[in-house]
Amino acid sequence: MHTVFVTGGAGFIGSHLVDRLVKCADVDHVTVLDALTYAGDRRNLTEAECSDKVRFIHGDIRDHDTVSAVLPGHDWVVHLAAESHVDRSLIDVGQSVRTNVMGTQALLDVAMRAGVDKVVHVSTDEVYGPLPTGAAAEDAPLRPTVPYAASKACSDLLAASYYVSCGVPVCITRSSNNYGPRQHPEKLIPRFLGLLLSGQQVTVHGRGRHLRNWLHVEDNCRAIEQVLRVGVPGETYNIGGGTDLTTIELTKLLLQATGRDADAITYVPDRPANDIRYSMTWDKIAALGFAPARDLAAGLAATVAWYRQHPERLAPITPAEATEAELDGVPA
Ligand code: NAD
């Protein structure tokens, strides 16, 4: 039986992972540590917390005393807590570094002393930076261009060093863009849905040419579970295999889903460091038995349906806020 310690479990991906772990017959306990920043939402854990397997702890990964008091005794750790938004990282680089770099270091330190069996450090394809052509394998150079991605790259290197220098059994996952229910409304899909459903315009940068791979959050969580179970310590696993779409292609799907037409798009000039294309190979995770199961059309339709049923999860967006958030052409 396993006891799992999940950081950032009240966030988007973390809460879906907790839902998944609770259903595993060989997991008898899941502790969620989450600071409930603006991005964390206890409602994300409503279903999971019906299970007596789940314990929620309101705490900060950077707080060594708290983490030291609660982490020991768990055999698996999944680290998702992060400042996850590119735009915010451009406004407050320090916050990204404090949480993503120093927080990861603090967590790894406690995991090392606790002697856990496995740590999965959850990272992103954005650490590879833009690739005009080709696809990054796990050993490709890290060339992040925005502070969010740079802070995640730093945390990846720290995690790798804790494996090499200190023997902490860490695996790193790097996934492409996740979508699905319960994503914070600052991120592209819920943000655009909120604007479109309330009759407002969406702003698309640089004609929307930026290419991203879209992976359903449940597929990512299935892959993370697989790495937790059979990933080789010290190894990194790209988690891709979703659907490649440019921002304008995705926007058009959202227009269709909300019954709006192309007049709802306002095009603005591109912003600096708006990476044109991310692309990864994912044969290592495939070799562990993973393949994405969720088709984009069906997954997106279900996501839109969920937000229609939960309009309170689409933040009210005034025209002033929409203008202020002009940076929102690229999701984290
Ligand atoms: P999210 O912003 O929805 O959730 C982050 C969670 O971390 C929140 O619940 C927040 O309260 C918590 N948190 C933040 N700082 C904390 C701290 N100091 N101590 C404890 N908890 C803290 O993020 P997400 O989209 O669920 O992403 C989860 C992880 O996956 C992140 O590490 C992110 O970099 C990575 N990732 C996300 C995507 C994506 O498309 N969303 C893609 C690849 C990788």
Same domain for 159 and 71, yes or no, is yes
DSSP-assigned letter for residue 203? E
Ligand 1 contacts CB of residue 80 (under 6 A): yes
Ligand 1 contacts CB of residue 11 (under 6 A): yes
163 belongs to a structural domain: yes
Ligand 1 contacts CB of residue 194 (under 6 A): no
Q: How far apart are CA 319 and CA 130, in angstroms?
A: 31
Q: E-strand spans in the chain? A: 2-7, 27-34, 54-58, 76-79, 118-124, 170-175, 177-179, 202-205, 211-216, 236-239, 243-246, 265-268
Our answer to whether residue 126 is catalytic in this structure is yes
Same domain for 221 and 78, yes or no, is yes
Q: Ligand 1 mean position to 119 CA, how many Å?
A: 16
Our answer to whether residue 148 is catalytic in this structure is yes
Question: Nearest C-alpha to atom 10 of ligand 1 is from which residue?
Answer: 40
Same domain for 98 and 203, yes or no, is no
169 belongs to a structural domain: yes
Specify the pLDDT at position 313.
94
Tokens 């999860």 correspond to 313
Same domain for 250 and 153, yes or no, is no
Name beta bridge partners: 79. Answer: 7, 121
| Per-residue confidence in pLDDT tens, the chain, 332 aa | 999 999 999 999 999 999 999 999 999 999 999 999 999 999 999 999 999 999 999 999 999 999 999 999 999 999 999 999 988 998 899 999 999 999 999 999 999 999 999 999 999 999 999 999 999 999 999 999 999 999 999 999 999 999 999 999 999 999 999 999 999 999 999 999 999 999 999 999 989 999 999 999 999 999 999 999 999 999 999 999 889 999 999 999 999 999 999 999 999 998 777 889 999 999 999 999 999 999 999 999 999 999 999 999 997 654 444 443 434 434 33
Same domain for 164 and 228, yes or no, is yes
Specify the pLDDT at position 331.
39
Q: Are 205 and 241 in contact (CB under 8 A)?
A: no
Same domain for 43 and 153, yes or no, is yes
Q: Check which CATH number belongs to the domain holding 219 and give it.
A: 3.40.50.720
What is the SS3 assignment for 289? coil
pLDDT digits (tens, 9 = 90+) for 247-264: 999 999 999 999 999 999
Instruction: Give the active site residue among 126, 156, 275, 328.
Output: 126
pLDDT digits (tens, 9 = 90+) for 46-67: 999 999 999 999 999 999 999 9
DSSP-assigned letter for residue 295? -
Same domain for 269 and 209, yes or no, is yes
| Neighbour-count burial of 198, counting CB atoms closer than 10 A to its CB (0-12 exposed, 13-18 middle, 19+ buried) | middle
Q: Check which CATH number belongs to the domain holding 248 and give it.
A: 3.90.25.10
Ligand 1 contacts CB of residue 152 (under 6 A): yes
Q: How far apart are CA 77 and CA 5, in angstroms?
A: 5
Residue 280 has phi, psi (to 5 degrees) of -135, 155
Q: Ligand 1 mean position to 158 CA, how many Å?
A: 18
331 belongs to a structural domain: no
Same domain for 267 and 225, yes or no, is no
Q: How far apart are CA 21 and CA 45, in angstroms?
A: 12
DSSP-assigned letter for residue 292? -
Q: How far apart are CA 272 and CA 269, in angstroms?
A: 10
Q: Ligand 1 mean position to 84 CA, how many Å?
A: 5
Question: Nearest C-alpha to atom 25 of ligand 1 is from which residue?
Answer: 12
DSSP-assigned letter for residue 180? S
Same domain for 127 and 16, yes or no, is yes
Ligand 1 contacts CB of residue 96 (under 6 A): no
Q: Which domain holds residue 79?
A: 2-177+215-239
Same domain for 264 and 158, yes or no, is no
Specify the pLDDT at position 273.
75
Residue 38 has phi, psi (to 5 degrees) of -55, -25
Ligand 1 contacts CB of residue 61 (under 6 A): yes
Our answer to whether residue 328 is catalytic in this structure is no
How many structural domains compose the chain? 2
Q: Ligand 1 mean position to 170 CA, how many Å?
A: 18
